Amino acid sequence: MLTEARGMGMTFHRAFDHCTEPMAALDALVARPAVERILTSGGAPHAMQGKAQLKTWVDYLRHTSLRIMPGAGITPDNAAEIIAHTGARDIHLSARTTKASSSHTQAVTTMGEKDESGYPITDPVQVRAVKQAVSRFNQYEIR
């Protein structure tokens, strides 16, 4: 996959959270310069719960080009705390909300969501709130 994606930025997805030996996995990923970051919750259901482990990994990678990108459960209420605690330079959030559907059909076919009265979208209000919450960390990126 790395060969096919050559020249593209690569993020190792949350499969990392299932590694039985995460430090060895970090070392293996450092050896692959095409991988820029690891999206992880610190091995926990949400990044807030995994923030101690996230900090350990951020510190471990401090002098490499590989970065830890906390994700899972990032909200305007916890984004700044996660960044401040971990020292991470990137965060990932869905900022998901549901937009009411304007469809006037009585379709019986679902679109894969549990609530057919609307559909999921990224909420610009939440994105703006997270951006404002982490603005004091102006060198950081929101993804």
Query: Domains of the chain, with CATH numbers?
Result: 10-142 (3.20.20.380)
Q: What is the pLDDT of residue 101?
A: 75
What's the rounded Cα separation, in Å, for the pair 87 and 83?
5
Q: Residue 96 pLDDT more than 70?
A: yes
Compute CA distances 15 → 43, 80, 92, 104, whole Å.
10, 24, 15, 40
Question: What is the number of H-type helices and E-type strands within the chain?
Answer: 4, 7
Helix, coil or strand: residue 5:
coil
Whether the pLDDT of residue 110 is over 70: the answer is no
Reported residue count of the chain is 143
To the question of pTM greater than 0.85 for the whole model, the response is no
d(CA 64, CA 55): 15
The pLDDT, as a whole number, for residue 108 is: 55
Q: What is the pLDDT of residues 51-89, one digit of tens each?
A: 999 999 999 999 999 999 999 999 999 999 999 999 998
Mean pLDDT is lowest, of 29-33, 35-39, 62-66, for 29-33
Would the CA dihedral through 35, 85, 93, 132 be positive or negative?
negative
Mean pLDDT for the chain overall: 86
For residue 61, what pLDDT is reported? 97
